[in-house]
Structure 1
Amino acid sequence: MGVKLLFVVLIVNINLVWSGKHDIYEGCSVHGVVLNNDEELNILKELELKLNLDVWQRGLPAVRDAVVMVTPENKPEFFSTLESHSIQYYVQLDDVVQALENHEADVINYKMRRSNGAMPFNDYPRYAEINAYMERIAREYPDIATIVTAGDSFEGRPIKYLKISTTNFADTTKPIYFMDAALHAREWVTTPVTLYSIHKLVEDLASDERDLLDVDWIILPLANPDGYEYSHTNERLWRRTRSYRPEINATCYGVDGNRNFDVNFNTVGVSPDPCSNTYPGPYAFSEPETRIIRDILLEHSGRIQIYMNIHSYGNYVLYGYGNATLPSNAMELHYVGAAMGAAMDALKLSKADYYKVGNSNLVLYQSSGSAQDYGQVRIGVPFSYTLELPGYSYLFQVPPDYIEQINKETWAGIVETARLAKLFYTGGL
């Protein structure tokens, strides 16, 4: 059997496996909610907790609409509550199942067009492909790249990251740039950005970017492998980890990894419902995945100048704190964040929103137990950010044809922040 025919057979088999996979979203729809003020935002927050809504984007009053997925059971109360408060809403996706099936078809067609092999940073790679790429980089470039197995996920998957350094991290005059991705499983478009960063630093460093090796790099492309794999095989919109605690709840798995850090834990922006997407877990660092991020931050505390916790979607560069207070270096945080946003905006597609930069609570929503806040408060990382990548009009289902564009523009922002980090670390600013 020829390679091309074999690939077609493989795709047909994948289609058969995927058929019916999205039935759990039968009758669900996604709606934009027009928020004009904080009062309307608070009404939506109350609905989120009461109905356990899946809020895809919380919105910025008078700037950006909220985006909410509603189940058939929740629609009557959701719509009636909005209407009783004269809050406008509209249909963004009338059929979630169809939208997810279209997304799967986009991925299949993309892979077929690239049947000779797409690099993992220009694709939606699976867990094994991600690790294989990092292992190859470490094997072929041992003078600059080292792979580290940090520990296992709840389900026993080794979680790996790359250390990139010309001095094997021995030169303490060099700041460290730490980035991770896919702590929220359904945010597939985040992992390619980290893999592309590895590619640029190790395999394709431009002559005018040699100064980036004056910085040491830690890149963790897949922080939540269990949830990520589950979002490929079972539930495309799965967000949480996959830990199982039947003594707490016998049917609901996982916690919101970005609410599980030991900083203002379980105070604001969380739900006590173990089935909620914002359930923080039974205690801080209950998840091995968040403990791994914690341990990396602790191991290199004092040298990590930038921590970039990468998410999607919405075009935001956010900094602490999630309870609406500000770090003492808020001006510097905003300066570096704005420089990043401007670098990405300079390359963005016309259909994309401009990046919004600011405090995570004031610009987006209140939160507690976030990786961003933990890095700044507990570790003392001067520049700790949450980066929300573009979703365009596709929300979480960004077609893979957009990956290269997102990689290119995000890399420009990463380059800008790395250079500023070096200047701040050496006292140049």
Structure 2
Amino acid sequence: MKLSVGFLLVFLSAALVAADQDYEGYRIYDVIPSNAEQAKLLHQLSLQGFDFIGESRLLGHPSRVIVSPEQLEKFEQFVEGEKITNSLVNSNLGASIAEEFAQLQMQRLLAPITGKGRLSTERYYTHEEIINYIDDLAERFPSRVYVRTVGWSYHKRVLKTITVTNGDGRSGKKVIFLDGGFHAREWISPAAVLYVIDQLVEQFEENAHLLKDYDWVILPMVNPDGYEHTQTGTLARMWRKTRQPYKSGTTTCYGADPNRNFDFHWNEEGASSNPCADTYAGPTAFSEPETIVVRDLMHSLSDRGVMYLTIHSYGNYLLYPWGWTSDLPENWEDLDAVASTGAEAIKSATGTEYTYGSSTRVLYIAAGASDDYGYYAGFNISITMELPGAGSIGFNPPVTRIDEFVTETWIGIRAMAEKLIEMY
């Protein structure tokens, strides 16, 4: 049975999320396109609101999609009619989320923190705990660590950067700007960024060469409102966006996708103008206070900034501009050299394979993203690192595997930084 794109639009419109979902009975499928037409049709699903929590344009590579009980019959008709290879990877997302929350609460009971000393890799931390941790580092290492308030979220949660130096007092050094926590449900992202901070500060002697001619400016949590919302209970776990309210007719929807909100080819292909969609670009570019903070940081650092690195999950990708077009930047060979170095280091150390390349050639066009804007703002190397997926949901490994994932991520980041130092 051949299904038209028009038919898809009818039944997929129900997938747009206007409020938090009860995920009981929701399923997760892997779908694998075998030809360009199937890949295009799958991409149409994502554009119309189906929640693709992992998407690839590479033939033979799986994309991962959430299917509600109401969508199930028609989804099955679609994949059967288009003869798209698919497999069920989670038969009840709601049950998985409930189990994850039970583990989260248990870990927080077993491993409380006081805001003093090193963080373990045994659990995920709240935004407040993350802020307390970097404040404590600034107190313990005053000659090498500086913490600065750079803004506030929509709900007035503080946004702070931590600048890590070698303490030699030299001004005007080149800068690596690193951030995490763009998308609320990607808990492993800020966890990986915290581990980078730990390695640069607590393990300074081992990594001093990374700080000889470079300062690292790190924003561990871009989207604290969304992140905290995902930790309020099972209904909110899969939230992706910020939390500023927007009207869609008579319906109030919440948040914009901060990684579609940047004013560089804003609201072009790969972004939505529907306030209820997960990829909503916002009513205007930089409508979100959180993306304004990142923008202002980029411009304040651009005279010294060499690399911008943003950590996401998931998919095993190292992506560089452009995201708005299939064209490549002039220095794409430099971008490719840094990305490939990270991928090769990880594969050599752990066997994990990363795909690297420009965003549109590896995935799909997604205009208005921070990596494109970072490159546009003056960072010669601008890369999005999509960490591997794991667990029953994908965005965050179970707590027993956090250490494995963050240490592997650091191997890649360290190798990319070393390559950057060699090149610049």
Stretch deviating more after TM superposition (247-256 or 87-96): 247-256
| Paired position in structure 1 for 2:157 | 157
Give percent identity, aligned residues only. Answer: 34
Are the equivalent residues in 2 in contact too, given 1:35–1:59 (CA < 8 A)? no
Choose which of 75, 78, 82 in structure 2 pairs with 1:78.
75
Paired letter, 2:163:
K
1:128-277 map, 5 Å: 128-166=128-166, 171-172=171-172, 174-207=173-206, 209-214=207-212, 215-234=214-233, 235-246=236-247, 250-277=251-278
Are the equivalent residues in 2 in contact too, given 1:103–1:397 (CA < 8 A)? no
- C-alpha distance in 2 between matches for 1:176 and 1:400: 32
- The CA deviation at 1:167 is 5.2
- C-alpha distance in 2 between matches for 1:121 and 1:417: 25
- C-alpha distance in 2 between matches for 1:325 and 1:249: 40
1:59-70 map, 5 Å: 59-70=56-67
- The CA deviation at 1:63 is 3.9
Q: CA RMSD in A?
A: 2.0
Are the equivalent residues in 2 in contact too, given 1:316–1:356 (CA < 8 A)? yes
| Paired position in structure 2 for 1:324 | 326
Choose which of 16, 22, 25 in structure 2 pairs with 1:24.
22
Stretch deviating more after TM superposition (159-168 or 277-286): 159-168
TM-score, structure 2 normalization? 0.89
Stretch deviating more after TM superposition (416-425 or 401-410): 416-425
Q: Which runs of 5+ in 2 are unaligned?
A: 1-19
- The CA deviation at 1:145 is 0.7
- C-alpha distance in 1 between matches for 2:208 and 2:177: 18
| Paired position in structure 1 for 2:412 | 413
1:283-322 map, 5 Å: 283-322=284-323
Change (3 A) 1:249 1:402: farther
Paired letter, 2:209:
D
Are the equivalent residues in 2 in contact too, given 1:121–1:192 (CA < 8 A)? no
Stretch deviating more after TM superposition (38-47 or 382-391): 38-47
| Paired position in structure 2 for 1:88 | 85
- C-alpha distance in 2 between matches for 1:114 and 1:171: 39
Q: SS in structure 2 opposite 1:33?
A: strand
Are the equivalent residues in 1 in contact too, given 2:261–2:291 (CA < 8 A)? yes
Q: SS in structure 2 opposite 1:252?
A: strand
Q: SS in structure 2 opposite 1:230?
A: helix
- The CA deviation at 1:169 is 7.7
How many pairs does the alignment contain?
A: 397
Are the equivalent residues in 2 in contact too, given 1:100–1:397 (CA < 8 A)? no
- C-alpha distance in 2 between matches for 1:382 and 1:249: 44
Residues 202-229 of structure 1: per-residue CA shift (max 9 Å, x gap): 112244x221112101111110000000
Q: Which runs of 5+ in 1 are unaligned?
A: 1-21
Paired letter, 2:141:
Y
Change (3 A) 1:142 1:248: farther
- C-alpha distance in 1 between matches for 2:421 and 2:169: 15
TM-score, structure 1 normalization? 0.88
Are the equivalent residues in 1 in contact too, given 2:32–2:84 (CA < 8 A)? yes
Q: SS in structure 2 opposite 1:125?
A: coil
- C-alpha distance in 1 between matches for 2:250 and 2:372: 28
Residues 226-278 of structure 1: per-residue CA shift (max 9 Å, x gap): 00000000401100000113377642100111000011111111122211111
- The CA deviation at 1:304 is 1.0
Choose which of 104, 112, 117 in structure 1 pairs with 2:101.
104
| Paired position in structure 1 for 2:383 | 385
Are the equivalent residues in 2 in contact too, given 1:36–1:61 (CA < 8 A)? no
1:357-376 map, 5 Å: 357-376=356-375
Paired letter, 1:282:
P
- C-alpha distance in 2 between matches for 1:116 and 1:336: 36
Residues 357-413 of structure 1: per-residue CA shift (max 9 Å, x gap): 111111122100000100112x12111011001113541241011111112111122
Choose which of 333, 337, 340 in structure 1 pairs with 2:339.
337
Are the equivalent residues in 2 in contact too, given 1:38–1:61 (CA < 8 A)? no
